[in-house]
Amino acid sequence: MNLTESERYCFAQVRRHDHDRYLTALFLASESRADALALYAFNQEVARSREIVSEPLLGQIRLQWWRETIEGIYANTPREHPVVEALGVAIARHDLPHAAFDSLIDAREADLEDGPRESLHALEVYARDTSGELAALVMQTLEPGNSLASDTARRVGTAWALVGLARSVVFHAQSQRLYIPEALLSEYEIERRRLFDLKPSSGLNRAIKRMIDLAASHLDNARSVSGEMSRAARRGLLLASLADRHIAAIRKVGYDPFAIPAGDVAPVLRLAWTAWRGRY
């Protein structure tokens, strides 16, 4: 597969910062792989805003830069940036909607706030509007105009984000950030100070279980229509298989976020077997 310089840049960035999505992209048809990785690289640019800035205002400026950059792509006045170049090709090739990118950037503003969402439903909406919408965009490059495939991808992406947030509780707590919904903190009497002091509690485990159960329900719903998915669409849903692996690991330790094993290398052969069988 011959790659442009911008496509090679996207491959490298996603491989470094989002290795699980990178692996799933390898099983896409060659003509689709570059477009998917351009979308994943764009996601990395906006998703990492909170981690790479020193204060929320700088994060707002970064997100605004990307809003204007997306506007420039659609106005045929793109900025010089390898991700922008690769993304512009994907947008033009598949007629991807402008509004989808604006919505994804807007949803990322929530990352600039350290406080949690109000409810589990609000957290679910955040997961859908970020990772879910990203998955739906990728699916549009594989199955244009197929609303069922896009909705299924959205469910898988939502589940992936919920699992990721559960796995990242300790990481976020170390910087006084919290994604566990306010309603669950209250229901299970979780003390923020205790969590920020990196001390486990049974209530925290129960809250994590609620998040994981919600993620699993999205995966179940996504698989309930597997018979209606084309082979190409199923290749775009392989993230569900990796989500299963993380869910199993979290359940094995009783939903204790302090006992969740560090992420190791995804089982590529198992992923390949899943793809070959047409599963996700």
Q: What is the CATH number of the domain that holds 175?
A: 1.10.600.10
| CA dihedral sign, ordered 274, 237, 70, 168 | negative
Q: Which pLDDT value is given to residue 263?
A: 67
Q: Which pLDDT value is given to residue 265?
A: 66
Stretch 155-166: mean pLDDT = 98
Instruction: For residues 271 and 151, state if they share a domain.
Output: yes
Number of domains, the chain: 2
Q: Which of 77, 112, 147 is the last residue of a domain?
A: 112
Instruction: For residues 40 and 163, state if they share a domain.
Output: no
Domain interval for residue 231:
114-280
Instruction: For residues 96 and 167, state if they share a domain.
Output: no
Stretch 29-50: mean pLDDT = 94
Whether pLDDT at 64 is above 90: yes
CB < 8 Å & 24+ apart, contacts of 191-199: 195/169, 198/170, 198/173, 198/174, 198/258
CB < 8 Å & 24+ apart, contacts of 115-118: 115/178, 115/182, 116/178, 116/179, 116/180, 116/181, 116/182, 116/185, 117/179, 117/181, 117/182, 118/181, 118/182, 118/183
Instruction: For residues 107 and 143, state if they share a domain.
Output: no
Instruction: For residues 153 and 249, state if they share a domain.
Output: yes
pLDDT in tens, 74-111: 999 999 999 999 999 999 999 999 999 999 999 999 89
Instruction: For residues 157 and 244, state if they share a domain.
Output: yes
Instruction: For residues 142 and 98, state if they share a domain.
Output: no
Q: Which of 112, 143, 175 is the last residue of a domain?
A: 112
Instruction: For residues 161 and 266, state if they share a domain.
Output: yes
Q: Which pLDDT value is given to residue 182?
A: 97
Q: Which of 88, 112, 136 is the last residue of a domain?
A: 112
Q: Closest by alpha carbon to 165, among 250, 46, 266, 59?
A: 250
Q: Which pLDDT value is given to residue 3?
A: 85
Whether pLDDT at 231 is above 80: yes
Exposed, middle or buried by CB within 10 Å (0-12, 13-18, 19+), for 209?
middle
Instruction: For residues 162 and 244, state if they share a domain.
Output: yes
Instruction: For residues 277 and 201, state if they share a domain.
Output: yes
Instruction: For residues 21 and 67, state if they share a domain.
Output: yes
Q: Closest by alpha carbon to 208, among 241, 172, 247, 177?
A: 247
Between 3 and 255, residue with greater pLDDT: 255
Instruction: For residues 102 and 208, state if they share a domain.
Output: no
Q: Which pLDDT value is given to residue 141?
A: 97
Whether pLDDT at 54 is above 80: no
Residue-level length of the chain:
280
